[in-house]
Amino acid sequence: MKRNVTLSLEQKLISQGKKIASRKETTLSRLVGDYLKQVVDDEKAYESSKKKALSLLKTGFHWGGKIPCTRDELHAR
């Protein structure tokens, strides 16, 4: 469902935005909407990647090999 939104922008920015939209054969509304959608999609991708990375950090990595002694044995004095 689409809804109208009112934005307050500098007149110069609106004029420049309209020129860019015209060159791209679209509207200023579509141009702003597409950019906002990209920002939202990027944020979702970032949060998903962050969640996956934190999950990997919690579980740790096993690179093979074997630990021959415990930490206490290594640091025994």
**Tokens of residue 8, six digits:** 């307050």
Q: Which residues contact 66 (CB under 8 A, 6 or more apart)?
A: none
Q: Where are the domains of the chain?
A: 11-59
Q: How far apart are alpha carbons 24 and 18 in whole angstroms?
A: 10
* CA–CA dist 28, 19 (Å, integer): 9
Q: From first to last of its 77 residues, what are the pLDDT tens digits of the chain? A: 999 999 999 999 999 999 999 999 999 999 999 999 999 999 999 999 999 999 989 888 878 888 788 888 888 76
Per the structure block, which two tokens stand in for 1? 């469902």
pTM higher than 0.85, yes or no? no
Spatial CA neighbour of 7 closest among 30, 27, 32: 32
